[in-house]
Homo-oligomer: A and B are copies of this chain.
Amino acid sequence: MTIKDVAAAAGVGVATVSRVLSGRGSVSPKTRDRVLVAVRELDYRPSALGRSLKLQRTGSLGLMIPDVTDPFYAALAGGVLACARTLGEHVILDVGHDDTAREAEIVERFLEQRVDGVIAVPAGGDDAIWRSALRAGVTVVFADRGLAELPEVPAVLADDRAGVRSAVEYLVGLGHRRVGLLGGPASGAPGTPVLTAREEGFRATLRDLGVPVDDDLVVRARPSRDSAYAAAASLFQRRPDVTAVLAAGHLLGEAAVLAARELNLRVPADVSIAMVDDVPWAELCDPPLTAVARPAADMGYRACEVLLRDPARRERGRPVVLPTELVVRGSCGPPAGRSPRG
């Protein structure tokens, strides 16, 4: 079924069919109807392939996230889908697993597909991919993480520094003096400074509040559940004097909760726990976890908007920074110390 068949069936030229279907140009009501009838009769569906080829525009955008299974990125993807829908675009999704080689393949594919734009949560450490995309003429927008090497690529970020600050201020306000940070790129490519904003925010806030920063309380995990758990458990064991810990991501928060439970530490009686990323389980935990909510869906939505309808913002490469919110629940309380080994 092609436009030709419809034209033949309706006894008109292909241009006319195109005109009635696209609504552009003028056609007499009579012929319009004839065409419409033929379309229904033949169950005709215009091929996006033909159109895209002609128009040099596919109506599709590529979305690359590290992992669909991660509730944060899933929410981000949801935001992108919502926005894309309102703008009449569809989205090609793929997961890079923070592996630059894989990311390169994915972006390459996006380019071959001639997507109208790309939204990506980049692993970092591979500006080559993105430069190549830029050279090819696709517009790229980063979400959740920006790349310092590529200031020309607009980014939509959460205000991590402020988020961490609010959490640390809350903890210190509760009376904590020895608060640990469970950090490191629990998500993010190995070796990249992805999460340093959080660690920096942590240190800066402590400093501002006049609380001494104990480097021994700042631990970094590699981006795996095992590593996160090991980091959390070792922190709790090595330093029975920590009264509060801030996890710089939901994987790390999960590890903290699990490790505390395993070591029979009561939360918040023995140790207070807070984390960055207000994922759904935070509320189901017992006690429910205090968390810094980053607007994942909004970030996705916004990134899509910037990509598709904000050329102005796109030009000047200043990132869009969205606010975070501290959601206080029951996992933090005043410090009470604990006997060594809980």
- Nearest B residue to A71, CB-CB: B71
Binary interface encoding of chain A residues 107-118 relative to chain B, with 1 for a CB under 8 A from any of its CBs, else 0: 011011110000
> Which residues on the B side are within 8 Å of A285 (C-beta)?
281, 284-286
A136 at the binding interface (Cβ < 8 Å): yes
> Which residues on the B side are within 8 Å of A265 (C-beta)?
none
| Chain A interface mostly | helix
Contact of A43 among B45, B135, B284 (CB under 8 A): B135
- Are B69 and A78 closer than 8 Å at their CB atoms? yes
Interface residues of A in 87-121 (CB under 8 A from B): 90-95, 108-109, 111-114
Contact of A53 among B49, B77, B95 (CB under 8 A): B49
Q: In whole angstroms, how far apart are the Cα atoms of A135 and B283 in the complex?
A: 46
> Which residues on the B side are within 8 Å of A93 (C-beta)?
77, 81, 91-93
- Are A74 and B81 closer than 8 Å at their CB atoms? no
- Nearest B residue to A286, CB-CB: B286
> Which residues on the B side are within 8 Å of A281 (C-beta)?
280-281, 284-285
Q: In whole angstroms, how far apart are the Cα atoms of A93 and B45 in the complex?
A: 20
> Which residues on the B side are within 8 Å of A109 (C-beta)?
90
- Are A254 and B92 closer than 8 Å at their CB atoms? no
Binary interface encoding of chain A residues 244-274 relative to chain B, with 1 for a CB under 8 A from any of its CBs, else 0: 0000000000100110010000000000000
> Which residues on the B side are within 8 Å of A77 (C-beta)?
68, 93
- Nearest B residue to A47, CB-CB: B114
A132 at the binding interface (Cβ < 8 Å): yes
Interface residue range, chain A: 35 or more
Contact of A114 among B48, B68, B92, B113 (CB under 8 A): B48
- Nearest B residue to A88, CB-CB: B109
Interface residues of A in 126-146 (CB under 8 A from B): 132, 135-136
Interface residues of A in 24-62 (CB under 8 A from B): 43, 45-50, 52-53, 58, 60
- Are B112 and A48 closer than 8 Å at their CB atoms? yes
A167 at the binding interface (Cβ < 8 Å): no
Q: In whole angstroms, how far apart are the Cα atoms of A133 and B111 in the complex?
A: 28
- Are B67 and A78 closer than 8 Å at their CB atoms? yes
Interface CB pairs A-B, < 8 A, 15: A43-B135, A45-B108, A47-B112, A48-B114, A49-B113, A49-B114, A50-B53, A53-B53, A67-B78, A68-B77, A81-B95, A85-B94, A91-B93, A281-B281, A281-B284
**8 nearest CB pairs, A to B:** A281-B281, A286-B286, A93-B93, A49-B53, A48-B112, A74-B74, A48-B113, A69-B78
